[in-house]
Amino acid sequence: MSYSEPNSPKLDYIFKKTSDEKTLVLFNSIATAAQEDRPIKLKEVNLTAKQYYVRISGLMEAGLIKKYKGKYSLTLFGRVVYDLQMLISKALSYYTKLRAIESIEMSNGEGFPKEELTQVINALIDNHQIKDIIMKSNFAGSTKDDDKSSIVEKKLSRH
């Protein structure tokens, strides 16, 4: 099953085009340079002219960047990929804490109370996006009654 439109690049193609470190540096430099409205210097990305243009071409083919008025910037798709890449980078900074949460969860098996696990997650993770992903995956196996009660609790806590 494919989740992309017929003419859109495939996920593995996007990963291939962004898989080497120099291309990621270039991609990130384009993102930050566009935000700061400044040009990218070859010295900044530590590439020869040929390496630069080969990578630029690959990023353009993948639909991640565009050239407008002589400047490279991210496409809308490129912005989404960039934001997700930043989220992955942030998750890497929590890697040890995520492993600790998994260890706690696995050492106590199914009997570990959700409330206590939530307290552990809240104590260790301060990024709401990562916390939301963890909470969603940790409580995905909960019963419908549990889901309904947590929705009611959330609504009540907002008022």
Mind listing the pLDDT tens digit for each residue in 30-84? 999 887 878 787 778 889 999 999 999 999 999 999 998 888 999 999 999 999 9
pTM for this structure? 0.74
Angle at 111 between CA 110 and CA 115, to 5 degrees: 105
SS3 category, 73 = strand
* pLDDT tens string 88-141: 999 999 999 999 988 888 876 666 778 888 899 999 999 999 999 998 876 655
Identify the pLDDT of residue 122: 93
pLDDT of 87 > 60? The answer is: yes
Among 31, 23, 42, which residue's Cα sits nearest to residue 65? Answer: 31
Burial (Cβ within 10 Å: 0-12, 13-18, ≥19) of residue 134 = buried
CATH dotted code for 11-87: 1.10.10.10
Q: How far apart (Å, rounded) are the C-alpha atoms in residues 159 and 155?
A: 7
Identify the pLDDT of residue 4: 57
Instruction: Please count the other Cβ atoms lying within 10 Å of the Cβ belonging to residue 9.
Output: 16
Q: With contact defined as beta carbons under 8 Å apart, do 63 and 78 qualify?
A: yes
Q: What ranges do the domains of the chain cover? A: 11-87, 94-158
